[in-house]
Structures are given as structure tokens and as C-alpha cells.
Amino acid sequence: MSVEENKALVRQYLESGRPEAMRGNLDVVHQYFADHYHDHTTMHPDHSGVQGLKEVIADWSQATPDLRTEVLEIAAEEDLVFVHWRGTATHEGQHQTTKHVRDIEPTGEEETVSG
């Protein structure tokens, strides 16, 4: 894939694929991630591969069902894509898998984070 195709795929996942997965169609992640996918962040180290990603998305969808992600900047070099994003959601449920927030009781308030 070209650099532009890689950027378009990542943008499509964040703007369309992940929201669809959060609405319950978890199999959509197979359109965006290889079976050997590995998350290199510290957010959910116990949930690897595509199955682990599905578990994390299911966790987000019950804890923050109205999650909206905005792509602020996107850049790529060869097969690496870098995204600066902002996510906004109402914290309605207890996270089970996302390490840095699973001990926070639901606030019922809208929060915004970026990464």
C-alpha cells in the first residue's frame, strides 16, 4: 500500500470502523488489523492480537458508548502511520480492561482526551 493509502485506512478505521465496532459489529476490526496485530502501548497489555482489540473495544463501548474520535493530524512514512487524535465521551460505565482508567468510578460526565 502507498503512504496515502495507509493514512486513508487509519483515518477510515478511526472515523468509521471503530464506531461500527463499538455499535456491536466487532468483526469489522478484521478489515483493518492483521491477525498478528500487537498493541505496543501500556493501555491494555493483557489483551493482545485482534481478539484482545475486540475485548478492549467492547470495554470502551460499555464504559463510554458515545465515544467520538476526531483526527487532528495524520502523517506517515513508508508503512508507519502517526495520528494525533482527540476523543470525547461520557463516562457511563466501569472500564474492565483499559489499564489506566479501570479503577476510576464512572463520573457520568463528558471527558476529552487526546493522544
How far is the C-alpha of 36 from the C-alpha of 79, rounded, in Å? 16
Does pLDDT of 74 surpass 90? yes
pTM: 0.85
More confident residue, 50 or 5: 5
pLDDT in tens, 35-63: 888 777 766 666 678 888 898 899 999 99
b/e burial code for range 66-85 (CB count within 10 A of at least 16 → b) = ebebeeeebebeeeebebeb
